[in-house]
Structure 1
Amino acid sequence: MKRRNLLDLLIDRPIVHPTRIDAVAWRGRQLTIAIRGHRWWASPYEDRQTEGKVSLVFNGLEEGRLLTDELNPDDDEALEGFEVIPVSDVPWAQGCDWSIYCSGPIGEPISLFAKVHDYLRLSEAFFGPEHFLNEATDISRFVAMTKAGGFLVGRGPACIRDLICAELERQGVPHNVVRTITDTGPKFLVRLGHSAFLCQEALAELAD
């Protein structure tokens, strides 16, 4: 069994249909998707009538969502839209290295919440505002928190920091920013249909 970096393989060998998902196995922090169909991973000149099998292996799984109703074994274009993206190319998926503290109340907290929400939706992120804004799993608690004299409003990567700070400046809210480098984060964002997740390693296991 040979293993190849999946990102490199997809650059060298674009996916060609038919491709079907035979099986999905989840064990610990590893997800394996068994693929059957045209042997696009072998050569661009393969006979489309000849079927082969390959396993897509994702190690070090982190946050994400997997929609099982999209894993249809009869779908012969199962990898339509499948992509592996370096996290370094995905601003919202990078480490939450920045903490933003307010030293006065926020007059329009829902406006701040909406800015973060809309940015994440437009970016097709699977994180919601509650991932970055403090106490935002409950909007009423978030609003109540923002009436205090001093509080942590949120943590996030640079793109979220800039978004929060721009809105605080617009509202004239005094604030400061503290940087704390996080531990090593995920390396890849994987998208498959409407499913998406972060992982440390993305591999293709090829038969010898």
Structure 2
Amino acid sequence: MTLPRLLTIADAATAGDRLPAIVAEAVRSGARAVVLRARDLPRDTRDRYAAALCRILEPVGGRLILAGPQDGGELHGPGDAVHLATRQPFPTPRPALVGRSCHTADEVARAAAEGCDYVTVSPVYPTLSKPGYGPPLGPAGLAGLAALAGRDRPGPLVYALGGVTPAAVPECLAAGAYGVAVMGPVLRTPRIVLDYLEGLAG
């Protein structure tokens, strides 16, 4: 399964009803994989956002990944793609695409053992959006977790997350990340996707 090297994380609680317009501009700038984070919103609101983002991504062959809801609702997202929180159980039956948030070696090892397609590893750099997860991993910590994920082939793809600026992309790739996952910068300035894609192509 081929995934783009850029994951755009669309946080509905932060963006509110501006979310579809933000994602539309990000997609026009080249984003092709969007993780909809709307776990704490009512099911009907989450479904409304998911439908809107699907309409935006479909014409360009993009993929919407639904961050697994916390309300006991259906884990499978549109297109059968789901992103799991660190401690969420692996869903049965297995969705077509499964990612998981990871912060430690044990969490990466677990995701690899259960057959996740990708993991986000965070926080790589200082960021206000990832409180409570200890000090940033830095490039060296990222390299260690990326190596662990790739120890058994095929292992999950590793996306660097947390404080990743366009300038930091080459450093993340050199540390072994497959790509980067970004939330805040894209929510604030969707066209910054172009800068991330330039770094990922370099």
* Superposed pair shares fold, TM > 0.5: no
TM tier, shorter chain? under 0.3
Compare the two structures and name the one with the higher strand fraction.
Answer: 1
More contact order relative to length (CA 8 Å, sep ≥ 6): 1
